[in-house]
């Protein structure tokens, strides 16, 4: 408990896997489920409880992006390998997403569509939905032909997927910045850190200007800021001090600022990362035992929405409370299966995938420039 009051560098405690990130992520994923229960049961996103425009689901997404920025940047800097980074990110996201989409499009869709089986399977929208959602980079599709058209939240199949293209683009942005800076081998690390600071400052200034001008923050830049806040905390971990007293002060500031929208947003944007890393590394003891269960957060995130729409279709006029209960049962069942049968096993393929890629890459002939004879 002394760790909570003493000042320690983040680098001293951000060591290994003994932390609360899995627990924070599952709580965040469940926060998204709770928030969407209002919209799906009542039929409008306006039904979601919000504080100054932010719902519990928005807070959860910001937690995901801050933690992702920290852990992904750590992974890239430690491995110092573009190929390893790409495979690690691919295997974490796409195998489980692929299985979920198969179950959604060719399982759930066939059951709940108002079209005949032949009409549904011959409709180009069916395959467009699958292709766009599995590719992610250019965004996602939201509707399958005739599916959930009679639900209160009409037609939306998986509203949670909208954040994944943003995350994948940020992975690509980070990876290509790292690869491009290999042109400066002796200064690659330094320039990479400058790049992270630059993006953090640029997006931070954008957020501050939007607050001053009383404009809505664009998700692209808000999520980029959250992601690179996490990245910044990693590269500055030797200089960032963590203590319970500072965390308590930051939290008190956040509470006081709630009475004014501009003040709240300013404090929220710049204090959330600190609170996240305090909670990720300082509280210990019994709660660390959660790590033995598995990382179910991604499964909860990608399955919750279609499960909730299924509940809405099967239980007309379902209340928000019952929506939370019913959908929690189905979502956690699927997320546990997803982790143990798909996600965890996919991650074991990383080393062999990296080795194969390097072997293929080594066989690609490199053009040799010959000196011209005059």
DSSP-based three-state secondary structure for 141: coil
What number is the average pLDDT over the span 334-353?
A: 96
Query: Would the pLDDT of 51 be above 90?
Result: no
Are 225 and 170 contacting, i.e. CB atoms less than 8 angstroms apart? no
pLDDT the model gives residue 361: 80
What number is the average pLDDT over the span 265-283?
A: 95
Query: What stretches of the chain adopt beta strand conformation (E)?
Result: 8-9, 50-51, 54-55, 241-242
Inside any domain, residue 4:
no
User: 54-67, pLDDT tens digit by residue?
Assistant: 899 999 999 999 99
- Nearest 5°: the CA angle 220, 83, 28 is 40
**138: its two tokens:** 């250019």
Burial of 317: CB neighbours in 10 Å, binned 0-12, 13-18, 19+: exposed
Query: Would the pLDDT of 255 be above 50?
Result: yes
Query: Would the pLDDT of 2 be above 90?
Result: no
Query: Would the pLDDT of 121 be above 70?
Result: yes
pLDDT the model gives residue 326: 97
Who has greater pLDDT, 31 or 367?
31
Burial of 128: CB neighbours in 10 Å, binned 0-12, 13-18, 19+: middle
Torsion of CA 159, 165, 166, 169, to 10 degrees: 180
Inside any domain, residue 104:
yes
Task: Specify the DSSP class assigned to residue 9.
Answer: E
Number of C-alpha atoms within 13 angstroms, CB side, residue 254? 15
pLDDT the model gives residue 45: 84
Who has greater pLDDT, 186 or 97?
97
Query: Would the pLDDT of 166 be above 50?
Result: yes
Confidence of residue 27 (pLDDT cuts 50, 70, 90): very high
Query: Would the pLDDT of 186 be above 90?
Result: no
CA 364 to chain centre: 35
> How many structural domains are present in the chain?
1
Inside any domain, residue 351:
yes
Who has greater pLDDT, 49 or 324?
324
- Cα Rg of the chain (Å, integer): 23
User: 199-235, pLDDT tens digit by residue?
Assistant: 999 999 999 999 999 888 899 999 999 999 999 999 9
User: How many whole angstroms separate alpha carbon 161 and alpha carbon 305?
Assistant: 9
The helix (run of H) or strand (run of E) holding residue 248 is helix 244-257
pLDDT the model gives residue 368: 56
User: 292-332, pLDDT tens digit by residue?
Assistant: 898 999 999 999 999 999 999 999 999 999 999 999 999 99
Q: pTM of this prediction? A: 0.93
Mean pLDDT, all residues of the chain: 93
Inside any domain, residue 371:
no
Confidence of residue 1 (pLDDT cuts 50, 70, 90): very low
What number is the average pLDDT over the span 145-152?
A: 96
Inside any domain, residue 368:
no
What number is the average pLDDT over the span 76-89?
A: 91
Inside any domain, residue 333:
yes
**The domain containing residue 102 runs over which residues?**
9-362
Inside any domain, residue 240:
yes
Are 196 and 73 contacting, i.e. CB atoms less than 8 angstroms apart? yes
Inside any domain, residue 307:
yes
| Dmax (CA) of the chain | 86
């Amino acid at each position: 408990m002394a760790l909570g009051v003493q000042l320690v560098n983040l680098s001293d405690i951000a060591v290994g896997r003994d932390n609360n990130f899995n627990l924070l992520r599952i709580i965040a994923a469940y926060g998204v489920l709770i928030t969407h229960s209002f919209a799906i049961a009542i039929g409008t996103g306006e039904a979601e409880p919000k504080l100054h425009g932010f719902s519990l689901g928005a807070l959860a997404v910001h937690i995901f992006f801050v933690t992702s920025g920290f852990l992904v940047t750590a992974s890239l800097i430690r491995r110092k390998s573009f190929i390893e980074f790409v495979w690690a990110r691919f295997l974490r996201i796409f195998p489980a997403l692929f299985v979920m989409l198969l179950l959604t499009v060719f399982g759930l869709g066939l059951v709940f569509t108002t079209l005949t089986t032949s009409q549904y399977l011959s409709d180009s929208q069916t395959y467009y939905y699958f292709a766009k959602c599995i590719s992610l980079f250019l965004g996602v599709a939201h509707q399958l032909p005739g599916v959930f058209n009679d639900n209160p939240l009409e037609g939306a199949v998986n509203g949670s997927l909208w954040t994944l293209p943003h995350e994948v683009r940020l992975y690509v942005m980070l990876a290509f910045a790292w690869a491009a800076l290999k042109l400066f081998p002796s200064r690659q690390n330094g320039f990479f850190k400058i790049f992270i600071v630059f993006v953090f400052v640029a997006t931070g200034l954008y957020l501050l200007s939007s607050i001053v001008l009383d404009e809505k923050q664009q998700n692209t830049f808000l999520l980029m800021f959250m992601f690179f806040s996490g990245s910044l905390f990693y590269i500055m971990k030797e200089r960032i001090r963590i203590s319970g007293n500072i965390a308590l002060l930051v939290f008190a500031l956040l509470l006081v600022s709630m009475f004014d929208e501009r003040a709240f947003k300013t404090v929220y944007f710049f204090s959330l990362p600190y609170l996240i890393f305090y909670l990720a590394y300082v509280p210990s003891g019994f709660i660390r035992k959660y790590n033995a269960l598995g990382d179910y957060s991604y499964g909860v995130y990608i399955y919750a929405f279609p499960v909730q729409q299924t509940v809405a279709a099967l239980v007309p006029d379902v209340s928000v409370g019952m929506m939370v209960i019913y959908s929690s049962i189905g979502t956690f069942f699927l997320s546990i299966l997803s982790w143990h049968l798909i996600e965890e096993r996919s991650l074991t393929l990383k080393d062999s995938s990296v080795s194969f890629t390097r072997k293929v890459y080594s066989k690609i002939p490199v053009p040799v420039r010959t000196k011209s004879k005059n």
